[in-house]
Structure formats: structure tokens, C-alpha cells
């Protein structure tokens, strides 16, 4: 009887790859929504690197993506206090067909939490329950932030 045993490191790397494919776009969206394009992308890279370095422990957590979000948030806050820069929208959005130029300014006018919720739920299609878990807030808070954020965007953009 020939039984091939897969090394444990390959299993953990496969688990990380699966987690990364699902979590990274949402993690990036939340961090870019909070900290702007440059700092948000850097924070995402730092959070993903942290998860990779500590994958045995972090991937076993009930909410590994939420944990990674907090890691990225802490890193970005330390960097921001050094840089003292505000929110800047992602410049890559201008090349998207159908992009409303006033949206960038309107998004910058939202509170941080409203911007996170709108980008995650409307922009990336994350459910309210998933956004709540990632951001560490209740589902009803996500609903409220989404409604207020969308109302503000509709008033600012006019669509």
C-alpha cells in the first residue's frame, strides 16, 4: 500500500494561499478606505507579511482577516503619525470606465468608518456580516454607516 504524505509546510502554505486569495482584496479595500491609496496598500503588505510570518498561529484564529486588518491598522497609524498625511484616493480608479470624478472628493468627505463600509460593501460586494466581522463592529453599525455614507455620496455626486 503506497501512501504519500504531504509535508506539513505545504499544507500550511496552501492554507495561506487560500486565505490570501480571499482576504487580501478585502483587507486592501478596508485599509485603503481608511488610510488612502499609498499608506493603505503599504499597510496591506505589512499585514499580509505578518500573517505569513506567523501563519501557524494566525491562520488558526476564528477571524484571521480581522486580525490582519488590526495589524495593518496599527502599522498604518504609526506610519501616519510620522508622515502626517491625510486620505488620498487611489489614482488607479481614474482609468476605470464609467468612473465618476466627483466620487473621489465625495469619498474623502465621508468619515473613516463610512468610507470603509461603503468601499467594502458597495465597491467590493462584501456582506454586512463580513464587513462587521472584519472591522470589529456590529452588523447594525455597518448598516448605519452604509446608509449614511451612501446618502452623503448621493448628495455630493448627485446620482
pLDDT tens per residue, range 87-110: 555 554 444 556 677 888 888 899
Among residues 85, 118, 142, the one where a domain terminates is 85
What is the domain-level CATH number for residue 106? 1.10.10.10
Phi then psi dihedrals of residue 109, to 5 deg: -80, -10
Among residues 63, 85, 107, the one where a domain terminates is 85
What was the pLDDT predicted at 105?
Answer: 85
Whether residue 1 is contained in a domain is answered as no
Whether residue 121 is contained in a domain is answered as yes
Average confidence (pLDDT) over 54-59? 95
Whether residue 2 is contained in a domain is answered as no
Among residues 85, 106, 125, the one where a domain terminates is 85
Residue 40 has pLDDT above 80, yes or no: yes
DSSP annotation of 120:
I
Domain, as residue range, for 124? 94-159
Cβ(46)–Cβ(75) below 8 Å: yes
Give the global pTM. 0.65
Cβ(68)–Cβ(27) below 8 Å: yes
Amino acid at each position: 500500500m503506497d501512501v504519500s504524505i504531504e509535508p506539513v509546510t505545504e499544507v500550511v502554505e496552501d492554507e495561506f494561499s487560500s486565505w490570501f486569495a480571499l482576504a487580501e482584496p478585502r483587507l486592501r479595500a478596508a485599509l485603503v478606505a481608511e488610510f488612502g491609496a499609498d499608506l493603505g496598500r503599504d499597510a496591506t503588505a505589512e499585514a499580509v507579511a505578518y500573517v505569513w510570518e506567523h501563519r501557524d498561529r494566525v491562520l488558526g484564529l476564528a477571524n484571521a482577516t480581522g486580525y490582519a486588518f488590526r495589524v495593518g491598522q496599527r502599522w498604518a497609524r504609526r506610519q501616519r503619525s510620522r508622515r502626517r498625511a491625510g486620505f488620498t484616493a487611489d489614482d488607479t480608479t481614474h482609468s476605470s470606465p464609467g468612473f465618476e470624478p466627483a466620487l473621489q472628493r465625495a469619498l474623502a468627505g465621508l468619515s473613516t468608518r463610512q468610507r470603509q463600509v461603503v468601499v467594502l460593501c458597495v465597491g467590493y460586494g462584501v456582506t454586512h456580516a463580513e464587513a462587521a466581522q472584519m472591522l470589529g463592529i456590529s452588523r447594525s453599525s455597518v448598516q448605519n454607516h452604509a446608509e449614511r455614507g451612501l446618502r452623503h455620496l448621493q448628495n455630493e455626486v448627485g446620482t
